[in-house]
Amino acid sequence: MISVEGFGKPMMDYDLVKYEFDFGFQFPTEYKKFLKNSNGGIPDLKKFDLKDKVKQGLSIEFFLGINVEKEKNVFYIFKITKALIPKGFVPFALTEGAGVLFIGVGDETFEKIYFWDRGDIEKPSQAVEGKNLFPVASNFDEFLNSIY
């Protein structure tokens, strides 16, 4: 099982409800549990594969948190990526090589995990499923259990 050295103090239920209300979406239950336990941080295991092994051995740099420094904050990364990603996705981790992991919060995407290879950090490319946006897991627990 993956262990994460957290960035900030774990989130409380009332804080999560406030952020969900402010941003207009609800986090999947498994992801809320993660935020309440570690609130982002650096994992001891980092490697993951895309669904159907389209790409293998990608590496997580760190999980994003809430109420943590700007560059590691879910909502800061959300604000700077939302114009480039389809509606219904929230970032939860950054990967080595300029990638971003997202969890679905929309009706059709709820709970699903996707990887966006954003390309150039200074001029990231629009996220397009099948081109640079790829499915990783059906839900957050499946994703955590797949990390090696």
Residue 130: how many other CB atoms lie within 10 Å: 8
Q: What pLDDT shows up at residue 101?
A: 98
| Alpha carbons 82 and 40: distance in angstroms, whole number | 20
Q: pLDDT-derived band of residue 123, with 50, 70 and 90 as boundaries?
A: confident
| pLDDT tens profile 70-82 | 999 999 999 999 9
Q: pLDDT-derived band of residue 135, with 50, 70 and 90 as boundaries?
A: very high
Using DSSP's 3-state secondary structure scheme, residue 135 falls into: strand
- The DSSP bridge partners found for residue 98 are none
Cβ 127 vs Cβ 86: under 8 Å: yes
| Alpha carbons 28 and 36: distance in angstroms, whole number | 13
**Fold classification of 4-146 (topology level):** SMI1/KNR4-like (3.40.1580)
| pTM of the shown model | 0.93
For the chain, the structural domain boundaries read 4-146
Whether the per-residue pLDDT at 137 is higher than 90: the answer is: yes
What does the block give as tokens for 121? 């950090």
| Alpha carbons 12 and 20: distance in angstroms, whole number | 13
